[in-house]
Amino acid sequence: MGVIQGDQMVLNIGPQHPSTHGVLRLEVMTDGEIVSRITPHLGYLHRCFEKHSENVTYEQVIPFTDRCDYLASMNSNFGYVVAMEELMDIKVCERVEYVRVIMAELNRIASHLLGVGAYGLDVGAFTPFVHMLRDRERILDIFEYTCGARLLYNYMWVGGVSHDLPKDFKKICFKFLDYFEPKIDEYNQLLTYNKIFVERTADVGVLPADVAISYGVSGTNLRASGVKWDVRKEEPYSIYDRFDFDIPIGEAKFGTLGDCFDRYWVRILEMRESIKIVRQALKEIPEGDIFETMPKKIRPPKGSIYRRTESPRGDLGYYIESDGSPVPTRVKMRSPAFTALSCLDEISQGWMMSDVLCILGSLDIVLGEIDR
């Protein structure tokens, strides 16, 4: 932490604090209200995901991935099964690809809704949070209708998915999209252009592009700094190269490029792009047997694979090492939330205590993924 000099003191925020977005302790060195250094303390949510994976079969790892980024379990499943299928040289059927993309993008919207809603709550706006939570529940209703679960799905399996879409899924999903798209304008009226919200977030916690890259920051936090990088476009996986969608980046709308407002704004814009992807996928989805390409035994050849996908929090990577047995030798997860948290100290120095919570909320971290 360093030597305390003069009038400096050390304060703890968390691990039981609603604004730390999980079980996180921040050791903050301050001089009055001005922050000079922040040391995050992790491990309160550590569940040994990577060590567990060395003692269960490949298919039994999937429910553990759910519990890492528990706000985007579909995307965590997606990354793991894509890596496994590449390791085993499995080409899944077309219907499965479309189903996975639909579910992943719906989960991206659900994750962003909670992210920006809770962020509004961090700076004192309660009403938008209630509205966004209401609309997130509608997505969870769709997930529950499809696979029976609302939060931890175990839905994407190696070579397929656990349940096919219900017969009236298209109708229900289009109805939700038609309802939800105009709601984004409502969020903008409630929160985005709120004078107090703009003053709390614009020009605060600026993350320059070079600093973001040096810390390995990815996803919306990197794009908010003006870097147009998205794994779905740069290293397309599944069938993302078939869809027409844009990659929103920071616009310095009310302040400096890469500030807290830009990180919020990119998530709002990204929800519109996910809607576009889901609409296209629903229109083009073919018929087929979702179990057609699912292997009876999951026993990959000896070797290793590293594959990354674009989760709502950024570049989610899985390194899997196989010795030819049904149990992995090593499973390593690359957490985008971990790299986002690592830059907190640098972009918070010189700001006030109240701004620190604003900066932390704008990074949209999930402690289940950081601690693993």
| Residues 98 and 284: beta-carbon distance below 8 Å | yes
Q: Tell me what the mean pLDDT of segment 208-221 comes to.
A: 92
Cα 306 vs. chain centroid, distance in angstroms? 19
Q: Reply yes or no on whether the pLDDT at 135 is more than 70.
A: yes
- Is 70 exceeded by the pLDDT of residue 2? no
C-alpha span between 209 and 203 (Å, rounded):
15
Per-residue pLDDT for 281 more than 80? yes
Q: What is the pLDDT of residue 320?
A: 94
Mean pLDDT rounded to a whole number for the chain: 91
- pLDDT of res. 340: 92
pLDDT digits (tens, 9 = 90+) for 304-325: 999 999 999 999 999 999 998 9
Q: Indicate whether 16 pLDDT > 70.
A: yes
Give the model's confidence band at 18: pLDDT under 50 very low, under 70 low, under 90 confident, else very high: confident
Instruction: Give the mean model confidence (pLDDT) for residues 171-180.
Output: 94
pLDDT at 4 over 70: no
pLDDT > 60? residue 352: yes
Confidence of residue 3 (pLDDT cuts 50, 70, 90): low
pLDDT number for residue 7:
76
Q: What is the pLDDT of residues 362-371, one digit of tens each?
A: 998 998 899 8
CATH architecture of the domain 48-337 equals Orthogonal Bundle (1.10)
Q: Are 344 and 40 in contact (CB under 8 A)?
A: yes
